[in-house]
Amino acid sequence: MRIASGRFRGRIIKTPKGEATRPTSGIVRETLFNILAHDIPEARVLDLFAGSGSVGLEAVSRGAASVTFVEQARPALACLRENIALLAIVGEATILPCAVDRALAALVSAGAIFDIIFLDPPFAATEAYAHTLAAVADTALLAHDGLLIAQHDARLTLPETVGALCRYRRQKIGDNALSLYRRS
C-alpha cells in the first residue's frame, strides 16, 4: 500500500498479513481525502480501529498536525509502529495500544480534543459503530466544528443522529460507504 499524496507521496507502508485487518483501500482513501481537503491542514486527528494506520498516515502526509492511533491487535500494532518509524513521524504520532472504549475514556480524562475522528471497525462488528458513535457524541472529544467520519459496509445504514452528532453526508464507494457527522 502507498501513501497517495502529500509529503510522503508514493511511500510504501506495511499492512498486516491475513484477514484480521482490512486496510482502507486507495480509492476509499482518495475519496475521503478529497472530501476533507480543506479540513486536514493542521488538524488533530484521531484514528480509531487504526489497523496499519493508512488513514492517519495519509492525514499526516497531507498536513495534519498530529494523529492519535487506537489499535489493540498485535499484528496491526507491529505494522503501525514500523510505518511510523519508516516515515520518521514519531513526534506527530501517538499510539494507544488498547481497546477503543479504554482509549476514549483516557482521552476524555486527558481533555483531548480532535478536529477529525475517523472510525473504521471491522465490518462484521456492526455494534461497534453505534457504540463508538454514542461514546464520542457524549464527550467533548470532537471539536465544536470537527468532523467524525465512519467507514462502513455500504449495506449498513448508520443512524442520522447520535446524541449531538448529525450525519450530513453519506458517500458510497463500491462496497464501502463513508458517513460524515458534525455536531448539531
Write out pLDDT tens, residues 66-107. Answer: 999 999 999 999 999 999 999 999 999 999 999 999 999 999
In which band, very low, low, confident or very high, does the pLDDT at 24 lie, cut at 50, 70 and 90?
A: low
Which CATH number is 136's domain given? 3.40.50.150
Asked whether residue 176 is assigned to any structural domain, the reply reads yes
**Can you say how many angstroms the Cα of residue 68 is from the centroid of all Cα atoms in its chain?**
9
Asked whether residue 164 is assigned to any structural domain, the reply reads yes
Give the residue numbers spanning the domain of 130. Answer: 26-183
Asked whether residue 38 is assigned to any structural domain, the reply reads yes
Given a cut of 60, is residue 22 above it in pLDDT? no
What whole-number distance in Å separates Cα of residue 2 and Cα of residue 32?
A: 15
Asked whether residue 67 is assigned to any structural domain, the reply reads yes
Instruction: Please tell me the total count of domains within the chain.
Output: 1
Q: What is the pTM of this model?
A: 0.94
Asked whether residue 170 is assigned to any structural domain, the reply reads yes
Asked whether residue 15 is assigned to any structural domain, the reply reads no
Asked whether residue 84 is assigned to any structural domain, the reply reads yes
Asked whether residue 19 is assigned to any structural domain, the reply reads no
**Which residue is it, cell 488498547?**
98
**Strand residues in the chain grouped as ranges (E):** 44-48, 66-70, 93-96, 114-119, 142-153, 161-162, 165-173, 176-183
